[in-house]
Amino acid sequence: MSNRTFTMIKPDAMKNGHAGAILDRIIKEGYRIVALKQTKLSAEKAGEFYAVHAARPFYGELVEFMSSGIIIAAILEKENAVASFRTLIGATDPAKADEGTIRKLYATSLGENAVHGSDSDENAEIEGNFFFSGLEKF
Ligand code: CMP
């Protein structure tokens, strides 16, 4: 069990003006921000980030969407961070997400689901290192 996870506020939530509310919720839920940046993925970089899904039918759509606009990337710290953050954001499909979760409140659809949360400690480390150097983590 690690105490860090990685998240992105995706282009749909950024365009719909939910970034402030999502960051406020994350902080109020007790996560410490280890690293944070606003950035935009090229299609190549989005494809690299989601390479694990390359064989899935939705991969092209996912890469196009994730490179369609500005995102916020962050590393978060809290006890049992990966599992607790996945509970906070809710199911991948917002239609199936519990009431009060970030995706239930702010996501548009299965593909445009407002936020990403790492699915394992190992991936949290890999994903955080994809966006941040050692000098950017505090
Ligand atoms: P995320 O948690 O960022 O990890 C992979 C993403 O792929 C997921 O959120 C969804 O946004 C997206 N995704 C998963 N399943 C589908 C699907 N069936 N159709 C479109 N996008 C999907």
7-30 pLDDT, tens digit per residue, is 999 999 999 999 999 999 999 999
Nearest atom of ligand 1 to the alpha carbon of 65: 11
- Tokens found for residue 88: 């906070």
pTM over 0.85: yes
| Residue 116 bears catalytic tag | yes
Q: Name every residue whose Cβ is closer than 8 Å to that of residue 69 and which is 6 or more positions away in sequence.
A: 11, 14, 15, 40
Decide which of 3.10.580.10, 3.30.70.141, 3.40.50.720, 3.30.70.360 is the CATH code for 4-136: 3.30.70.141
Sorting pLDDT into bands at 50, 70 and 90, what band is 134?
very high
Q: Among candidates 3, 13, 4, 11, which has minimal Cα distance to 106? A: 13
- Please tell me the distance between residue 62's alpha carbon and the centre of ligand 1 in angstroms: 7
Whether the per-residue pLDDT at 47 is higher than 90: the answer is: yes
84-129 pLDDT tens trace: 999 999 999 999 999 999 999 999 999 999 999 999 999 999 999 9
pLDDT of residue 2: 76
Backbone φ and ψ of 121, nearest 5°: -60, -40
What's the length of the chain? Answer: 138
- Please tell me the distance between residue 56's alpha carbon and the centre of ligand 1 in angstroms: 10
> What does the alpha-carbon distance between residue 53 and residue 56 come to, in Å, rounded to a whole number?
5
